[in-house]
Chains A and B, each alone.
Chain A
Amino acid sequence: MSTEVKGRFGFGSFILFVLTVLGIVLALYRFATGIGSVANLNQGYPWGFWIGFDILAGIALAGGGFVIAAVVHIFGSEKYHALVRPAILTAFLGYLMFITGLLVDIGRPWMIWSMMINWQHESPMFEVGWCVMLYTTVLLFEFLPVVFEKYKMAGALKIWMNIMPLVAIVMLVFFAWLLSRSTQWTVVIAAVLVIFELAIRGGVLKRDPRVPTLLIMAGIIFSTLHQSSLGSLFLMVPHKLSMIWFSPILPVLFFISAVMAGMAMLIVESTLSSKFFRRGLELNILQGIGKGLSWVILIYLAVRVVDLAYRRVGSELLATSPQAVAFWIEIVIGLLIPLALLLTPQGVASGRGLFWAAIFVVIGLVVNRINVAVTGISGGSYPTYYPHWMEVAISVGIVSLGILAFLLICRNFPIFEKEHSHAASA
């Protein structure tokens, strides 16, 4: 069983609260006077810190939700089950934070619904917009059982189990049609999904009694698509993005690194919430994640090296340009150091090495996304962009709000599993 947890709101929470208020005040100022009054963006650098941090990095870091859902519910590693609910909650709040960030960043946020009726299936931005919208809805659905459990709504849970597979099919099929505009593709995809559901209903495949598998699948498919499409956004700028980062396989790199960052966030988050809520740390679970993480880092590193070699990028990396430095920060801090930590047995055994490795991966990921969106972009003759403190403060405010919401929900809803079960299994 899961349970509500106790945790004190102390000085740390107070700071978060202050940061949130500051962010809100600055955001209101931005809406009253225009983006230029809080941001250093200019005509040559239309995208800056908000896109790099709130959107690119934020979404990748929220990838833990789909990774753990896949590991537990699709690949069947029950060991990690305790992580599912916190991860889904983090992902859900993460996406809400990202959407808030987007509303601050775009010039006319009240027109965002324009995307729902003006379909541009060749624009990666359109794809990301729709996918994020649908995935956030899936996350909300995945979270509902927590509410049902809290308020003891057994009937609602039953209806949910029954309806969700159909909802998932409708969402996926509609999306397939929206983006392919091809009847053949749509029919084939619809057929596969329907056959899968029929196989479950007919008893050919075992039904997961806890959650409709198709809902989980929808979440994973949408995540795969938009995590990679965030990379596709930059396929549009071969003329502006430095060779170091521009690659035709950007979508693949973005996807792998999102899996990597998502896993790292699982470790960071579990460690921190065990501190905050004064719960035991599920060390053996985190060690398993750490092992998986080291594999994903290796794969990502290999793909990047091959990609750079294949595109003959070499001298650019050894130059003394800010870009080259930013690249090496990304590689050394984000990949090599964590890999070294994860491969030392002592570090992993204590949980500290694990935690720091994950922190470094997260930092590296943030640097990578900011590099792609900002550092690597050349704005021609326009003054080089550096974020204004108010841009950063607004983002910090959004993140603070998200953390406060997470803590509040964990205290009031059954997110974490009861502790004794861990003591038994550890």
Chain B
Amino acid sequence: MKALLIDTIRCTGCRSCQVACKEWNELPAEETSFFGGPGYQNPKDLSKNTWNLITFNEVKLNGRLKWIFGKKQCMHCLEPGCVSACPVGALEKTADGPVIYHKNICIGCRYCMLACPFQIPRFDFDSPNPYITKCRLCHDRQEMGEIPACAKACPTGAITFGEREDMVREAQRRIAENPDKYHHKVYGLEEAGGTCVLHISSVPFEEIGYITDIPNEPVCANVKPAMKAIPAVMLGAALILGASYKFRNRTRDEEPAAHG
């Protein structure tokens, strides 16, 4: 299973990855406008044309205001909520790690968006034939033996790509070697059961706009038992109804009404 490691300390906010993502996936530029909030960030949010976004966060560090850059994209969860949610299998977790989207069978129900704890999938509310859009970890490039476009484009080594275990080890090594520089947490190691995109940072992740109140168990943890119960409920209901029918049979004979 492959994974990305994002080291926000090494990121300079050059957005090469953002551009590389657009280029590889042939996504048009966005019409942008000024918005209140983080000054130089552009565009404001992920969208159908922006699958990878460098976020600009002003954070107070050791008494000084600093830019800390975050990377917003699909986390490629190990047990993705979006995949468990989708009623038609339009979203698929591949063996190599990427969570990919088969657009032609999607019905547009948006359950994947609700189920995603990281609020990643985007839906095109302005089109009569809307699709879901999100990062696919350059699944197509990986099949050709290439690494994801963002990892390839990064000039500072802030994005590393490799086996997930190696990336986890690398993240922990960097934190252990520089315990004062890093916040002691690998984001994505446990969130929602673990993800294939790992982040490390100098400050707690809520300070750079990451969603941090995500349970560590997979999103589908509560759903699985409910779905498993279905055949048992069917059997139980059939037995109870059958027995009630027999038991109440007698009153039926006394006064049957005319029709069904």
> Hey, which bits of chain A sit against chain B, CB under 8 A?
1-2, 31-37, 39, 41-44, 46-47, 70, 74-78, 81, 84, 105-109, 111-112, 114-115, 118-127, 129, 142, 145, 149, 172, 175-176, 179-180, 182, 185-186, 188-189, 192-193, 196, 205-206, 208-211, 213, 217, 220-221, 224-225, 228-229, 232-233, 235-240, 248, 251, 377, 379-381
Contact = CB atoms under 8 A, between A and B. Distances in A.
A205 B245 contact: yes
B241 A74 contact: yes
Contacts of B114: 46-47, 236-237, 240, 377
A125 B111 contact: yes
Contacts of B122: 43
Contacts of A206: 249, 252-253
Interface string B220-236: 10111111001101110
15 contacts: A1-B259, A35-B130, A76-B252, A106-B108, A114-B105, A125-B111, A129-B87, A179-B230, A193-B238, A205-B245, A211-B260, A217-B241, A232-B223, A235-B226, A238-B215
Contacts of A125: 85-87, 109, 111
Contact of B115 (A119, A217, A236): A236
Nearest to B47: A43
A251 B228 CA distance: 13
B219 A236 contact: yes
A78 B252 contact: yes
A114 B109 CA distance: 12
A76 B249 contact: yes
Given A41-B125, A189-B231, A196-B238, A107 B248 contact: no
A37 B124 CA distance: 11
B245 A192 contact: no
A192 B239 contact: yes
A380 B211 contact: yes
B125 A120 contact: no
Contacts, number: 230
Given A74-B248, A189-B231, A123 B107 contact: no
A232 B226 contact: yes
Given A251-B226, A380-B211, A108 B241 contact: no
Given A182-B231, A232-B223, A239 B213 contact: yes
A364 B123 CA distance: 31
Contacts of A142: 260
A176 B88 contact: no
Which label, helix, strand, loop or mixed, suits the secondary structure of the A interface? helix
B185 to A, nearest CB: 18
Contacts of A379: 119
A70 B117 CA distance: 40
Contacts of B89: 118-120
B143 to A, nearest CB: 22
A236 B119 contact: no
Interface string B22-36: 000000000000000
A74 B245 contact: yes
A196 B209 CA distance: 60
A33 B127 CA distance: 6
Contacts of A44: 119
Given A74-B248, A192-B238, A225 B260 contact: no
Contact of B257 (A81, A188, A248): A81
B251 A108 contact: no
